[in-house]
Chains A and B, each alone.
Chain A
Amino acid sequence: MNALSLHRPVRIAARVLIAAGIAFALLYVIVIASPPPEVGGNWRTTNFGSAIDDWRSFTRTLLNGLTAAGLLFIVASGFSLIFGLMRVVNMAHGSFYLLGGYIAYEVQQKMTGQGFSLLGSEVSTWEWVLPAIVALAAIAGVGLIVQQIFLRWNQGQELRQALITIALSVIIADQVIAHFNEGIASTVTWPGWSERLIELPLLGVDYSLARLVVLLLGVAVGVALWTWLYRTRTGMVIRAGVDDRQMTSALGVNIQLTFAIAFVVGSSLAAFGGVVGASQGAVASGQDGQWLLNSLVVVIIGGMGSLLGAVAGSLLYGLVFAFSAVYLPTTGDNCCTQYSIVVTFMLLALVLAFRPQGLFGRQG
């Protein structure tokens, strides 16, 4: 049902216009854009010029978008899983990300005893994996507590649950500042072997191995989630629960156990995302809001509770974000790349205007 019920010609015209816009954007990136001249510039001027001018930079931007999408997927798939099954919008998802990152940081600091300037070469694989495991386990516990104490008794009251998780996120954000490195930006250090550039076969482009690891982790999480949801009994129950919660529990399935499992897994994914994010950049107080936003954007684009939607949403958001940061025209010193946030917004508005339920979401 198209509630806005525009007249048909208007709708078609709008679609044509949007298709033209997207086609122009693609053309712009691939051919139209040109490298910056010595002085000045015009609407065609971008940082690197078009893909044809500088295909190495183009490939790098593409890879940046993909690795960003990998991290986005790790975090947002957890958000989407919880929402899809339980109809809980976990506004504390970003807080779990933040906590996860900081816990891993603290554990790694304890393990290496290095303090601020921890070099990658001083970190073994184990010294990255163990902090990640501890963070995951800790947030799994936090998630279980939150779900059992705050969300179990008020199932179906979506807004109330959202408000409760907002309250929790306020408390967690403040407590993180009080207890974890004063909330200042903290980096979990990648193990030494990943801190180098590798030349990609075929492409001939140097690219950071650590970032490729992020992409790989994203894919691994995706595959693991798919296998879990589509090839195991628990996954089957979860999918059944997403479709029809009441019928599933009427069939004798312990839906409460399933809810608890889904919430724990979803929370752990946020924590894992936090560890990866803290390794790739840094985790800092205030990022909880940013990652809540990221998760929201991904699931609004992709559709709530759909694994495929989370993949599509992460890819679209990651790529649009990476490209708009580099390929918007740069006439003058700091022209248009600062408007990249507008492009994200346009992506969102477009999806909402034509598919309010998201690309892969189901109606109702």
Chain B
Amino acid sequence: MTRDPKTLIERAIAVGVLVLLALGPLVFNDYWVDAILTQALIVGIAAASLIFLAAYGGMISLAQTALMGTAGFMIGNMVTKGGEGGESKGLTLGWDPTLSLVLAILGTTLIGIVFGAVAARSLGIYFLMITLTFSVIAFYFVGQVTVVSGFSGIAGINNYTPSFVGDMVNDRYRLYYIALGVAVVSFALIRFLIRTPFGLALQGIRDEPVRMSSLGYAVPLHRTLAFGLAAFLASLAGVLLVWWQGQIAPGDIGLQATIDLLIVAVIGGLGRVEGAWLGAFTFIVINNYIRDSWLTDLLDDVKIGGSFQTIIGLIFLAIVIVSPDGLLGLWDRLWGLVRRGGGPDRPTIEPSPAGQQG
């Protein structure tokens, strides 16, 4: 067992947070449980898929929002019914919700693998650009192709949920616990995977792609599979998202949403998976409690103007400049200072010099 005080403290905090979350509805009021915690758990899962790729694969993917949305649009097209009593745009296939759930998750994972196969040959900044392009194209696709959505999106999706999931419209505590369960399982899955031979090879590829390639590892294959796994996680988030908000529209996967997810991941810290939920919670609390009028009211003399986005942009900028590893990076660095004036004991978000396009 480790005696490292930092690890012990982190574990204690983790247990405390989990207990608090498990007690959820007893501790927090309804608004907090539904609007803040549930959303943070869901967004955290998507951000965790981004951080998983960044921290262990050395790939910063901006496609996670699009993949999350893909799952949402898929399930939206599959479960909703058209015709009389139907309320929805899209294909309105009216399929069985359980089947749709499975198909949406599988389909998104598959799309992720295909995306990954194309993008996995590029690295670093190229990977970022290519995934961003994917993501924006996905946005225009659902916006333009009115058959599957159109700009107003698909509504009323959470009226159709599998029977084992139950009523997602009224029983919001149920949704909260499902989101909590999926989040914990996702976290455990990532932690488990990075210790498997696959995960170790992936980290080897992150640091030394050329060397791993000479050792006989299929570098693009590992990256592609990692991307597929991240797509799987993103699809879980997507399904939960449509159950939470009931609808999905192209705006949910637009550039703004894509960048928001990146901000979430960066605020939490791109080096550690836990950062996903920390970042999501921070972002959503800021989003809920900062008023747009603050900039105009408080700084009346300066007349800065602008809304919440300016504030979040400034916070993002400050974090990227001061601590590129986010809040958890700050925490790590603090411990480095406590120990012996050292630097961070985690890798920074920059890949090794070998992490250029190869």
> Can you list 6 A-B pairs with a CB-CB distance of less than 8 A?
A163-B266, A167-B317, A170-B312, A175-B310, A179-B305, A296-B129
Cβ of A352 under 8 Å from chain B = yes
Interface contact A159-B259, CB-CB below 8 Å: no
State the Cβ distance, A245 to closest chain B Cβ, in Å: 13
A176 to B324, CA, bound (A): 27
Identify the A interface with B (CB < 8 A): 1, 3-4, 87, 89, 150, 157-160, 162-164, 166-171, 173-175, 177-179, 289-290, 292-293, 296-297, 300, 304, 334, 338-342, 344-345, 348-349, 352-353, 356-357, 363-364
Interface contact A170-B313, CB-CB below 8 Å: yes
Known A177-B307, A289-B255; further 18 A-B contacts with Cβ < 8 A: A1-B358, A89-B128, A150-B321, A163-B266, A163-B320, A170-B316, A171-B309, A171-B313, A173-B309, A178-B306, A178-B310, A289-B256, A341-B141, A341-B144, A345-B137, A352-B118, A352-B119, A356-B126
- Contacts of A3 on B, CB cut-off 8 Å? 121, 213, 219-220, 358
Interface contact A175-B60, CB-CB below 8 Å: no
Cβ of B87 under 8 Å from chain A = no
- Contacts of B213 on A, CB cut-off 8 Å? 3
Interface contact A166-B136, CB-CB below 8 Å: no
A275 to B316, CA, bound (A): 29
Interface contact B144-A174, CB-CB below 8 Å: no
Interface residues in B266-322 (C-beta closer than 8 Å to A): 266, 304-307, 309-310, 312-314, 316-317, 320-321
Interface contact B146-A338, CB-CB below 8 Å: yes
- Contacts of B130 on A, CB cut-off 8 Å? 300, 352
A356 to B306, CA, bound (A): 40
A348 to B130, CA, bound (A): 9
- Contacts of A162 on B, CB cut-off 8 Å? 125, 128
Out of B133, B307, B356, name the residue touching A174 (CB < 8 Å).
Answer: B307
User: For residue A88, which residue of chain B has the nearest CB?
Assistant: B125
- Contacts of A352 on B, CB cut-off 8 Å? 118-119, 121-122, 130
- Contacts of B128 on A, CB cut-off 8 Å? 89, 159, 162
A170 to B262, CA, bound (A): 12
Out of A87, A290, A341, A363, name the residue touching B125 (CB < 8 Å).
Answer: A87
Interface residues in B149-196 (C-beta closer than 8 Å to A): none
Identify the B interface with A (CB < 8 A): 60, 117-119, 121-122, 124-126, 128-130, 132-133, 136-137, 140-141, 144-147, 213, 219-220, 254-256, 259, 262-263, 266, 304-307, 309-310, 312-314, 316-317, 320-321, 324, 349-351, 356-358
Interface contact A364-B356, CB-CB below 8 Å: yes
A2 to B307, CA, bound (A): 47
State the Cβ distance, A111 to closest chain B Cβ, in Å: 24
Out of A4, A167, A297, A341, name the residue touching B313 (CB < 8 Å).
Answer: A167
- Contacts of A173 on B, CB cut-off 8 Å? 309
- Contacts of B125 on A, CB cut-off 8 Å? 87, 89, 158-159, 162
- Contacts of B349 on A, CB cut-off 8 Å? 159-160
State the Cβ distance, A352 to closest chain B Cβ, in Å: 5
A166 to B312, CA, bound (A): 12
A163 to B126, CA, bound (A): 14
Interface contact A160-B220, CB-CB below 8 Å: no
- Contacts of B316 on A, CB cut-off 8 Å? 163, 166-167, 170
- Of listed A162, A174, A348, residue having the most chain B CB within 10 A: A174
- Of listed A1, A4, A163, residue having the most chain B CB within 10 A: A163
Interface contact B350-A171, CB-CB below 8 Å: no
Interface contact B305-A175, CB-CB below 8 Å: yes
User: Which 8 residue pairs spanning A and B have beta carbons closest together?
Assistant: A178-B305, A289-B255, A170-B313, A167-B317, A171-B313, A174-B309, A158-B125, A167-B316
State the Cβ distance, A305 to closest chain B Cβ, in Å: 12
A87 to B126, CA, bound (A): 11
- Contacts of A4 on B, CB cut-off 8 Å? 117, 121, 220
- Contacts of A87 on B, CB cut-off 8 Å? 125
A173 to B128, CA, bound (A): 20
A150 to B220, CA, bound (A): 34
Interface contact A334-B305, CB-CB below 8 Å: no
Interface contact B310-A171, CB-CB below 8 Å: yes
User: For residue B127, which residue of chain A has the nearest CB?
Assistant: A159
- Contacts of B356 on A, CB cut-off 8 Å? 364
A169 to B62, CA, bound (A): 15
A168 to B213, CA, bound (A): 37
Interface contact A293-B136, CB-CB below 8 Å: yes
User: For residue B213, which residue of chain A has the nearest CB?
Assistant: A3
- Contacts of B304 on A, CB cut-off 8 Å? 178
State the Cβ distance, B208 to closest chain A Cβ, in Å: 15
- Contacts of B129 on A, CB cut-off 8 Å? 89, 296, 300
- Contacts of A89 on B, CB cut-off 8 Å? 125, 128-129
- Contacts of A338 on B, CB cut-off 8 Å? 144-147
Out of A1, A160, A178, A340, name the residue touching B144 (CB < 8 Å).
Answer: A340
State the Cβ distance, A94 to closest chain B Cβ, in Å: 9
- Contacts of B60 on A, CB cut-off 8 Å? 159
- Contacts of B324 on A, CB cut-off 8 Å? 157, 160, 163
- Of listed A166, A293, A349, residue having the most chain B CB within 10 A: A166
A296 to B137, CA, bound (A): 12
- Contacts of A345 on B, CB cut-off 8 Å? 137, 141
- Contacts of B357 on A, CB cut-off 8 Å? 356-357, 363-364
A100 to B60, CA, bound (A): 30
A297 to B324, CA, bound (A): 27
- Contacts of A339 on B, CB cut-off 8 Å? 144-145
- Contacts of A292 on B, CB cut-off 8 Å? 132, 136, 255
Interface contact A159-B350, CB-CB below 8 Å: yes
A14 to B129, CA, bound (A): 25
- Contacts of A179 on B, CB cut-off 8 Å? 305
